[in-house]
Amino acid sequence: MNVFWFIPTHGDSRYLGTAEGGRAVSHDYMKQVAIAADTLGYDGVLLPTGRSCEDAWVTASSLIGETKNLKFLVAVRPGLAAPSLAARMASTFDRLSGGRLLINVVTGGDPTEQEGDGIFGTHAERYEITDEFLCIWRELLEKTHTGGTVDFDGKHLQVKGATVLYPPIQAPYPPLYFGGSSDDALDLAAEQIDVYLTWGEPPAAVAEKIKGMRERAAKRGRSLKFGIRLHVIVRETNDAAWAAADELISKLDDETIAKAQAKFAQMDSEGQRRMAALHGGRRDKLEVSPNLWAGVGLVRGGAGTALVGDPQTVADRMQEYADLGIDTFILSGYPHLEESYRFAELVFPLLPRPQKVGLPGFSLSGPLGEMVANSYVPPQRKSAES
């Protein structure tokens, strides 16, 4: 089980949908979150993309030297960047980070944002562009290991004699992650993607998605890995976790919810439509599956659900998804710095993943923990692997 965290490049908060308790984006804060995730043993971090965020590539590049093992899941935006430039950026980042780059392919689902970036194609055309972009991008990086140039004459994109001279560390290229729920998106994933991502829908819906994606990939002679994007609210007890969920939206007013839902309804993203359908903008229908809470989606686009509960409950719900075929969990929580510690300390010891000495799951003494009464060394907790 791979567990990722999240770098809040669009700001952070203790309360959703309000400026109260908000934290501005700063390099110092993003560095704190990245170092925490790296130190605590998260496998990687996702950096969001879009006009409401600081640029993901610049931010991730600034964090390479601040971290040691952390992988960075960074977005490429077909139609916004040329495939040759994107391939060079990916190769450079992968080399400079020691092979720690993962690629998140984002076609985009907000027409207003797309038009602001000079992209005016229809939903179908955006996926055609993405398909052509990835054909060029993949072949360019594959040929850094074998030599040669790339010629491509597509409906939307063309290159002649394109080349990337310096190869990435990861061969043939850094793994491609992608999420989308429309037929166009599913076909693209089956044809070109390595890890298919879903937002946090109820397990039955996720099982259906995985089954369909496996069938589409098999028809093309391919297989996929699967990941899920979720928020988490974990506390020592279930009651405390649900109280924290209520507190997260306690300062959120109905007008803000209505404005957010109206904006989401204008998007042509099937995934966003599915997220909104889980709660319908109502506060009284937020537990959409046992311990799966849709309150985040009242005002936040994209991933809008959170696993809520005590440590064992959250670990059990994660295992339910893992049993369906999910092996990568991309998590976040508010505020992201404190919640990265809380989740690691409470849930990591219960997950089927290796625990390193000195990381959450071990109660050690001296510089790695607190000595009791000046002489007593607390016993170590056993991890799920023990």
Q: How far is CA 89 from CA 74, 83, 175, 193, 353, in A?
A: 11, 10, 14, 19, 32
Other beta carbons within 10 Å of 105: 24
Name the residue with tokens 């994007």: 229
In whole angstroms, give the CA distance from residue 74 to residue 294. 25
Q: Are 100 and 128 in contact (CB under 8 A)?
A: no
For 105, which DSSP code? E
Q: What is the model's pLDDT at position 308?
A: 98
Q: What is the model's pLDDT at position 372?
A: 61
Q: What is the model's pLDDT at position 365?
A: 45
Mean pLDDT by 10 residues, the chain (386 residues): 96 90 93 97 94 93 98 94 96 98 89 79 90 97 94 97 96 96 93 95 95 97 97 98 96 87 76 75 86 90 90 98 98 97 96 73 52 61 51
Q: What is the model's pLDDT at position 239?
A: 98
C-alpha triplet 231, 237, 239: angle, nearest 5°: 85
52 exposed, middle or buried (CB, 10 Å; 0-12, 13-18, 19+)? exposed
